[in-house]
Amino acid sequence: MTTYIIRRILLMIPTILGITIMVFAISRAAPGDPVSLSMGPGGQLDAQRAADVRKARMALYGLDKPIPVQYAIWLKRVVKLDFGDSIKHHRPVIDLIAERLPVTITLNVISIIIIYIISIPLGIFSAVRQGRFSDKVSSVILFMLWSLPSMWAGQMLIGYFCGPTFKNWFPPAGLSSNFADALPFFPWLADRLWHLTLPVICLSYSGFAYLTKQVRAGMLDNLRCDYIRTARAKGLDNWTVIFRHAFRNSLLPIITIMGTLLPAMIGGSVIIESIFSIPGMGRLAFEAITTRDYNVVMAVATTAGFLDLIGLLLADIAYAIADPRISFERIE
Amino acid sequence: MKKLELKIDNKNWGTSYGQLVWQQLTKNRTNLVCLWFIIVLFTTAVFAPLIANDKPFVVRMASTGSPQVEGKVYFPLFGTLTANDYSVFLAAIIGVILLFLLRRNSRKVNPFLRSAVLWRQISVCTVILLLGIILLQFFIPRRLDATDYKAMLSSGKATDAIFPLVPYGYGRTDIKVCQRPPNRNHWLGTDDVGSDVLCRLIHGTRISLSVGFVAVGISGIVGIIFGAIMGYFGGKIDFLGMRLVEIMMSVPTFFLIITIVAFFPRSLFNIMVIIGITSWTDDARFIRAEFLKLRNQDFVQAAVSLGLPLRSILFRHMLPNGMAPVLVSVTFGVAGAIFIESALSFLGFGVAPPTPSWGQMLSTGVSTTGEFLWWLSFFPGLAIFFTVTAYNLLGEGLRDAIDPKLRKAV
């Protein structure tokens, strides 16, 4: 097991390198360079002086070196978690990320837990009642939820429940009320949950619709198998057959789906955090792009990729725990 | 002596794979509804300026006006259409003709000649289309017509005018009627600068559909080429290619897209390209898997031993046999691209405001004071929702139609 995990982590290194190369390449492939941006149209300098200033600035930012060298320098700083300073906030980018990352992680972890809690029983239920009315209704609803654009849902919820126009039930923005830090723990928690309700709903509904469909499909595949017939034939009761036999075997694909769910959710949190003004990493990315804060943009993209990789690693470990065969097979 | 006759039964060529899939697809009522919805959507997109425009089709001037225009009949709408609009009409007509030819081919042309005939038809149509577009760009002048025909009508300068169904222009602002909920004049209300929401929705269809198609076209081409090469050669090329795919997949796509959007200028074309080059991984994986299966089959070996060029082996012989799963992922891809475009526009990273886009319209629903102008969010969102759902349902239908396991069971 340990060997498997170590091996899995070592395999992540090329992927991380690839992510950094990609982010760096995007930033360097962009038209216009920071020096000409900072110099503007040139003003009253004559051509010779302008070229000198330009050269000096290029040397200052290290832009005169060949691209691979620039990448190596950037990577060396990234490894030390130094992404430079934010132009807008005048603070090291890594501090900003350290502030914002926990918010996004909290939001996503709560959503993932909710997704799994709701969709596993629902999927099993609709697989067991395949073809009945309740199964058909839930399938249609789930399909619609899956296609429902999250910004529409978010905008309608915030408009309907958070404004003076209709119902004023939920706060429209932020993560906690003013002075919430002064509250004792439980009221603070209640306040936090009150603020998180709508964002979590928006972030999780599409994933839970997708997962439920997969659970249902996996269960149906297993329920058709011969060993289920055997289990029934030997007189086991219905629920034992479903939970001990069919469900356990359809567990693996459910874990794998984490791999497709997670990138979508981390990407989706940009939209959700922007709608609900939640100070997370998605909102940081949004603000950085509107203010053209390039250091922050690159840092956030790298962090998002990294976060995703950690999620996938956890999913793989869970996979190995659920099915002991896997870790041995892969070591070969 | 009886002459020996070679009998060719012209009518009974059997059913091709494509026809089988099509029959299976159209058997389901949901799929048919989706197909019709998409056709309506396309028609709306193509004829948007004829459906929603503030210029009348026909206007007759009053006999009391100045002697030059007295009693004359004008066609202002057709005068203000740009060369691009006419090019879109031309492309749509040629597209419809191609579809009819496709249908005709499958009935009247020998299956062995079908692909050659099809290629000839496609190339002729493309040449006509390109020539037409070039000619249109030369001959259609760019005219600006700021005349307010409605005011002319009400002031009596014109006697009659036939307006389009939605008589408003998408760029026209009217402060007198801003932020009105749906009413008799403005069926879906007006936005904060007084533009008609229905009109902007209709014109927004163009943006959404074109982004969907161009982006998926790009991702499809890139994915097919990458996947074909990886699957056919295998080995080291496959390994390196799959690592690239893995890296692309492990960065959350939306983050990747907004990172690129941050660094590059924002235009409709850039957005299409960005969405296209970030979403080819699924297509590449599917094609690779198919090609890995196909490359050891006899017909591929035969093609190799005949000494055909690689291009011919990959794309003329193998691709038609491995196309099915990509078709499904392309259909889902259109839904995804439309969603991403509207999300980008929603965040303000999409096309600039006077150009109507569903996502950008959706974002104006909650005003800065927290007031909820529901019609501004509800209708554009509904449009995105219906479009995305239609493509997703069609994708599912196509997958069911293609899956042979399911076909046997039904």
Chain A residues with CB inside 8 Å of B342's CB? 149, 151
Query: Do A166 and B372 make contact, defined as CB atoms within 8 angstroms?
Result: yes
Query: Do B259 and A301 make contact, defined as CB atoms within 8 angstroms?
Result: yes
Closest by alpha carbon to B271, among B284, B262, B280?
B262
Pair of tokens at residue B39: 């056709």
For B264, nearest residue in chain A (alpha carbons): A30
Distance CA B403, CA B400 (A): 5
Of B263, B381, B389, the CB nearest to A26: B263
Query: Do B359 and A151 make contact, defined as CB atoms within 8 angstroms?
Result: yes
Q: Does pLDDT of B386 surpass 90?
A: yes
Mean pLDDT to the nearest integer, A86-104: 87
Chain A residues with CB inside 8 Å of B329's CB? none
Q: What is the tens place of the pLDDT at every residue in A136-185?
A: 888 889 888 988 999 999 999 988 888 777 888 888 777 777 777 777 88
Q: Does pLDDT of A129 surpass 60?
A: yes
> What is the reported pLDDT for B47?
92
The pTM assigned to this predicted structure is 0.88
Q: Does pLDDT of A262 surpass 50?
A: yes
Query: Do B366 and A147 make contact, defined as CB atoms within 8 angstroms?
Result: no
Closest by alpha carbon to A216, among A137, A144, A130?
A130
Q: Does pLDDT of A36 surpass 80?
A: no
Query: Do A147 and B260 make contact, defined as CB atoms within 8 angstroms?
Result: no
Closest by alpha carbon to B256, among A285, A138, A9?
A285
Q: What is the tens place of the pLDDT at every residue in B241-300?
A: 988 888 888 778 888 888 888 888 888 888 999 999 888 998 999 899 889 888 888 999
Mean pLDDT to the nearest integer, A84-99: 86
Polymer length of chain A: 332
Q: Does pLDDT of B170 surpass 90?
A: no
Query: Do B381 and A151 make contact, defined as CB atoms within 8 angstroms?
Result: yes
Query: Do B265 and A31 make contact, defined as CB atoms within 8 angstroms?
Result: yes
Q: What is the tens place of the pLDDT at every residue in B48-91?
A: 989 988 888 888 887 766 667 777 888 888 888 888 889 999 99
Per cent of chain A over pLDDT 70 is 93
Query: Do A159 and B372 make contact, defined as CB atoms within 8 angstroms?
Result: yes
pLDDT tier, B409 (very low <50, low <70, confident <90, very high otherwise): very low
Q: What is the SS3 assignment for chain B? A: CCCCCCCCCCCCCCCCHHHHHHHHHHHCHHHHHHHHHHHHHHHHHHCHHHHECCCCCEEEECCCCCCCCCCCEECHHHHHCCHHHHHHHHHHHHHHHHHHHHHHHHHHCCHHHHHHHHHHHHHHHHHHHHHHHHHHHHHCCCCCCCCCHHHHHHHCCEEEEECCCECCCCCCCCHHHCCCCCCCCCCCCECCCCCEHHHHHHHHHHHHHHHHHHHHHHHHHHHHHHHHHHHHHCHHHHHHHHHHHHHHHHCCHHHHHHHHHHHCCCCHHHHHHHHHHHCCHHHHHHHHHHHHHHCCCHHHHHHHHCCCCHHHHHHHHHHHHHCHHHHHHHHHHHHHHHHHHHHHHHHCCCCCCCCCCHHHHHHCCECCCCCECHHHHHHHHHHHHHHHHHHHHHHHHHHHHHCHHHHHHC
Distance from CA of A245 to the nearest CA of B (A): 24
> What is the reported pLDDT for B410?
36
Q: What is the tens place of the pLDDT at every residue in B101-123?
A: 988 887 777 777 777 888 899 99
> What is the reported pLDDT for B385?
95
* Cβ A294 vs Cβ B262: under 8 Å: yes
Distance CA B253, CA B299 (A): 38
Q: What is the tens place of the pLDDT at every residue in A307-320?
A: 888 888 888 888 88
State the DSSP code for A217.
H
Query: Do A18 and B243 make contact, defined as CB atoms within 8 angstroms?
Result: yes
Mutate which: A152, A198, A283, A310, vs B, most B CBs within 10 A: A152
Chain A residues with CB inside 8 Å of B363's CB? 151, 155
Query: Do B371 and A309 make contact, defined as CB atoms within 8 angstroms?
Result: no
Distance from CA of B101 to the nearest CA of A (A): 34
Distance CA B64, CA B71 (A): 8
Query: pLDDT higher for A194 or A41?
Result: A194
Distance CA B365, CA B191 (A): 9
Average pLDDT, chain B: 85
pLDDT tier, B408 (very low <50, low <70, confident <90, very high otherwise): very low
Chain A residues with CB inside 8 Å of B264's CB? 30-31
Mutate which: A151, A276, A290, vs B, most B CBs within 10 A: A151
Distance CA B77, CA A141 (A): 44
Chain B residues with CB inside 8 Å of A14's CB? 243
Mean pLDDT to the nearest integer, A71-93: 86
Chain A residues with CB inside 8 Å of B252's CB? 262-264, 266-267, 304-305, 308
Query: pLDDT higher for B33 or A67?
Result: B33
Per cent of chain B over pLDDT 90 is 33
Task: Classify the complex by whether its ipTM is higher than 0.90, answering yes or no.
Answer: no
Q: What is the tens place of the pLDDT at every residue in B333-372?
A: 999 999 999 999 999 888 877 788 899 889 888 877 777 8
